[in-house]
Structure 1
Amino acid sequence: MMDPAEKERLARLEARIKAAKAAHKPPKPHREEHYSQASLAWRMVIELVAGIVIGFGIGYGLDVLLGTIPLFLVLFVLLGLAAGIRTMMRSAQEVQAQQSADTAEGEGD
């Protein structure tokens, strides 16, 4: 059995531990979506090139199928370029929103 003095000492110790835990801020969780600048640049380049290549493939396929001059090829390459640029802009906005959220979170601490 415990004597009352030891119970009181343990209760004070528990109170101090709770106070220390409340004062201690947990570390920020590691985000898997944290990208370096180089990987973001490569992502954007790949998105642009993919849009152009897909447009080229569709345009070339239509030209071969219909036996036309490279009319569809030029048209779909331009559409692929526009789609690639649009995707790049959307990615840049996502990154900018993430960085502004991180900045706002950092200022709130």
Structure 2
Amino acid sequence: MDEPDHRDRMAALEARIAAAKGTDKAASHGQDHYSAAQVGWRMVTELVAGLLIGFAIGYGLDWLLGIAPAMMILFTLLGFVAGIKAMIRSAKEIENGTSGHDAGDETRDRDGD
């Protein structure tokens, strides 16, 4: 007598699992929508981090060496350049990830031709 009750419970559990898997597909669509925003925030974070690290290093060197804003300006600019390079690297990662037909093409030159 226990066997039919067990089968009914198992069928109900499988139906709940299938329903849960069906809602998972809708959630993944929302994640695709926000992936560009996530990439944008990553790029902004890399730029700001480069600027802040460059500023901090420059300020510290100015404080140690006693030369007012020279190192701070220099290292802030270097941090800006490092942040821009990191943003370009992130953009290339995204470009290579989305364009699958160009992924295996190793013979292109620097301009992409």
TM superposition score normalised by structure 2: 0.59
1:69 to partner: Cα distance? 1.3
> How many angstroms apart in 1 are the aligned matches of 2:72 and 2:78?
10
Name 1:26's counterpart in structure 2: none
CA deviations over 1:29-64 (Å, ceiling 9, x no partner): x9xxx7711100000000000000000000000000
Matches for 1:31-46 after TM superposition, within 5 Å: 36-46=35-45
- SS of residue paired to 2:99: helix
2:68, 2:61 → 1: CA distance?
A: 10
Query: RMSD of the TM alignment (CA)?
Result: 1.5
Matching of residues 1-109 of structure 1 within 5 Å: 36-101=35-100, 104=101
Amino acid at match of 2:50: G
The share of aligned pairs that are identical, in percent, is 56
Aligned-residue offset at 1:77:
0.2
Structure number with larger C-alpha Rg: 1
TM-score normalized by structure 1? 0.61
Aligned residues: 70
In 2, Cα distance between the equivalents of 1:84 and 1:55? 10
Q: Whole-Å Cα distance in 2 between the matches of residues 56 and 69 of structure 1?
A: 13
Aligned to 2:9: none
Distance (whole Å) between structure 2 residues aligned to residue 72 and residue 55 of structure 1: 9
Aligned residue identity for 1:49: V
Q: Higher helix proportion, which one? A: 2
State the 4+ residue runs in structure 1 displaced beyond 6 angstroms: none
Unmatched tracts of structure 1, length 5 or more? 1-29, 105-109
Partner-residue secondary structure (3-state), 1:36: helix
Measured in 2, the distance between the counterparts of 1:61 and 1:79 equals: 15
